Structure 1
Amino acid sequence: MSIIEIINSRRTIKKFKSDPVNMEQISKWLEAGTMAPNHKMTEPWEVYVVGPETREKLNHKANFFNAPVVLAILSKHGATQIETEENVIATACFVQNFNLAAWEEGVGTFWSSMGGAQKNREILGVQDGYDVIGVFGVGYPEEISEPKERTPIQDKIQHLS
């Protein structure tokens, strides 16, 4: 598949097969994530592999749709507010690289924002100075949804003089 085909076909997965995902593959996709642009090479991302006990304590309403692997991805605060914001953006790019690399090999993700809640930060053991960008179910899709309609990009472009 071309990168455009990968981007256009990627979906959020809400039903996973029980098939295990090899951690070596996941590491390869996370390594692809590190190629994300990040201002001043801050490399602000941190990745937690969430084990069964922590996963149970998180008590996600759908148990991450039974994904065989759950990851929490964090972004380290910067020295300034602007650097912190840049780090969050860079970490989102890291996540997208990871998602696309996994999707190319038939593995999907579900992105939950639940990690930002104080209770869940405590369960995950997140230290001050980090933002939780998301908690992700990772696995082989049982079902792949149809794409949702998007606003044409022409409606979002403004030409400045």
Structure 2
Amino acid sequence: MDAALLNDLIRKRRSIFPESYIEKPIEKKIIEQVLENANWAPNHKLTEPWRFRIYQGKALQSLSDYLANWYRENTPPEQFSAKKYEKTQNKPLRSDCVIAICMQRDPKESLPEWEEVAAVACAVQNMWLTCTAYGIGSYWSSPRSIIEAREFLDLADGELCLGLFYMGYHALPDLPGRRSPIEEKVTWV
């Protein structure tokens, strides 16, 4: 393995939003690779808590409708924004693929819930890095509308939705990263 390639990939990972996506389909085998790499995330007691629901093609319209309707039905009239409604509605439709990121809680509750949430987050990081390697823009969004989408997503008992992972090719140049120095966050003991 080449550590320099890994270091570069990690530093190039960015949130790329649907308004920057171009109309170029993502091959199914690439989406499968993204999911397979997610499946190799670390997880305590091998609970493998990640679960995914894939929205592509016509399914993106049903997701769009759900999100837009949820916004309209759950926003007080004085706070409703036609612009936000339209943006909410268009976000899935501008994406080639949207993945609902879900977590199946260990039925035995043999470990703290936060460890399973952390395992799912590690799976999403693997997805993000894989997308970056393929030149696919992506980002993880967790609006209340999808967190409360139990019925829409047909979640099983003990299953939670932790957000949506938007994916699409883009034409943006590599964007510079911004991080403060690691020395400001480390104490050597």
- Residue correspondence of structure 1 range 128-139 to structure 2 within 5 A: 128-139=157-168
Structure 1: gaps (5+ residues): none
Moved over 6 A (4+): none
- Distance in structure 2 (CA, Å) of the matches to 1:4 and 1:145: 15
Q: Once superposed, what is the RMSD of the aligned Cα atoms?
A: 2.2
- Distance in structure 2 (CA, Å) of the matches to 1:141 and 1:65: 14
Structure 2: gaps (5+ residues): 69-86
CA contact (8 A) 2:24 2:168 kept: yes
- Distance in structure 2 (CA, Å) of the matches to 1:117 and 1:68: 21
CA contact (8 A) 2:41 2:126 kept: yes
Counterpart in 2 of 1:16?
A: 21
CA deviation string 1:95-127 (max 9, x = no partner): 111111121111121211026532x33322223
Counterpart in 2 of 1:75?
A: 103
Residues 1:148 and 1:2: Cα distance change in structure 2 (over 3 Å): closer
Deviation of the 1:31 alpha carbon? 0.4
Larger Rg: 2
Indicate yes or no: 2:60 matched with 1:52: yes
- Distance in structure 2 (CA, Å) of the matches to 1:86 and 1:12: 24
Deviation of the 1:148 alpha carbon? 4.7
Q: Percent identity?
A: 31
* Aligned pair partner of 1:104 in 127, 133, 140: 133
TM-score (norm 2): 0.75
Task: Tell me how many residue pairs correspond in the alignment.
Answer: 159
Residues 1:7 and 1:64: Cα distance change in structure 2 (over 3 Å): farther
Deviation of the 1:139 alpha carbon? 1.3
TM-score (norm 1): 0.86
Q: Which amino acid aligns with 2:29?
A: E
- Residue correspondence of structure 1 range 1-161 to structure 2 within 5 A: 2-14=5-17, 15-50=20-55, 51-56=59-64, 57-59=66-68, 61=88, 62-64=90-92, 66-78=94-106, 79-80=108-109, 82-114=111-143, 116-118=146-148, 120-144=149-173, 146-160=175-189
CA contact (8 A) 1:6 1:104 kept: yes
CA contact (8 A) 2:10 2:129 kept: yes
Deviation of the 1:64 alpha carbon? 4.1
CA deviation string 1:45-78 (max 9, x = no partner): 1110122243121236251471111110111112
